[in-house]
Structure 1
Amino acid sequence: MASQPDPGLSVIMSERRHLINLSYRLLGSLADAEDVVQETYARWYAMSREEQQAIESPGAWLTKVAGRLCLNVLTSARVRRETYVGEWIPEPLPDRTEWMDARPGDPADRVTLDESVNMAFLVVLESMTPAERVAFILHDVFRYPFAEVAEIVGRTPAACRQLATSARRRIRDAQAPTARVTRQARIVREFKQAWEAKDIDALIALLDPDATAISDGGGAVSTVLHPIEGAEQIVRSVTRLAGVLAGVTILERTVNGWPGLVVQRDGVTVTVCAFEVAGDRIKHIWAVRNPDKLRLWTAPSS
């Protein structure tokens, strides 16, 4: 019997996309999401066939386990990120249709890019407590009832409702009205052109006076320790980088579902920039330079 194929394997594995989508939104890191999903399946297959068959809804069981694992990761991640050198930015995801030579079967292929994964949204999620984030994502994004959320978070349904309300308030207070995708694409393109031309006046005109730029590094990559605030300060930093980035190629790419920029040197991605545009001005720039977060952005050599 042990050699017989598992008749429920296709059903169980069909949940993988859902689990990746859920875990990425909860953790802001595809690498961590992959680890959580792998551990979730390991726990499923650690059970006997009889134990598995006794579970009425395997999908619900997998979601519950993944949710609890994510909650544990978030709790420990808060400690790790307090000691992170510089600002911590969620891992950016590319639009795979723009990368024809990407690895087949990449988990990123199975992450649905929508409003709940744009960089501005993920950054706000980082300001939440682990319980707030889990309650909000499960209920408001994935539409789980609070009774089920409570089983994952380990609190009462009423407490989970309060957590989601608090999280919703954070989202509302932090996010400015966003521009349409076509408008953001135009503004990001103009920013790229002005950056390449070292046109200081044009760069300043494209930035909100109170704009903020945040960069993260990692490993041997240097980073800006604190956010850069104000259009003139950002432009000063951008123009200073122009010399450092001589010889690079700047590409227009989709970053977490929205127009962004990718900086490559000799075909290797060294920076991914995500933007938040409000009206006709850039309000936030997130520049991800940590190589561990850029693994999906450069196709491996064959």
Structure 2
Amino acid sequence: MLYLIGLGLGDHTDITVKGLAIIKKAKRVYLESYTSIYCDDGINELQQFYGRPVIAADREFVEQNSDQILANAGNDDVAFLVVGDPLGATTHTDLILRAREKGIEHRIIHNASIINACGCCGLQLYNFGEVVSIPLWTDTWRPTSFLDKIEANIDHGLHTLCLLDIKVKEQSIEAMMRGRQEYLPPTFMAVNVAAQQLLESIKEKSKEKATKLTADTICVALARIGSDTQKITKGSLIQMLNVDMGPPLHSLIIVGRSLHHIENEMLKLYSMP
């Protein structure tokens, strides 16, 4: 049996009782380490807590060695651990499909993810639209399709949860061209970087027509949600340029509708000075 087990958002103690019982009896335990990160000491913390080895599974490992992950999973229990919820990112549906092709059963053990935990700021979850990912720009790659999706949500009077890019174990173009296994330092997009990209996207698009997202649109910055050091800050998009949310992971909510009075009261708790 292949088990995809959500670890939650805060630290090693967020595992469910059901998930922990499966991990302790599984033949092998893998930790997916590229769609998100832990706020604590990562794999070492997990190994101490579980009392057993945990195998790090980066993107390259999962994409190229899925057969190794699934080896004998028809007879043995294999645990694949994911920060947040196992299907918070569609990345892991591919592993499920590969298992099914081999006749291997799977089971999902759910947990909290940023997609539902973002409600901690007081915005009501049923007022959210499509989730948007904002990628880190480079000197030669500056996509702006995320702006179209945010504006579509605003059209429907819906808030937008923006997931901010992380880059873990990424190769430079030079390393790839030379065939070297050399990796860039991990990079985690901060709220102020996302705000800058959004403002530049607005400026570019406004050359053609007015945008619904503006510098004055109310936003909510989130950092390390689910941990003891989580931080929430409300302000306009342009104010987000100067916000310091501390260490990763960060997310950004674009408020897309007139707020219910309870939402308003909750957000007052997090207003910038």
What TM bracket, shorter-length normalisation?
under 0.3
Q: Give the number of the structure whose residues are more often helix, by fraction.
A: 1
State the TM-score, normalized to the length of structure 1. 0.23
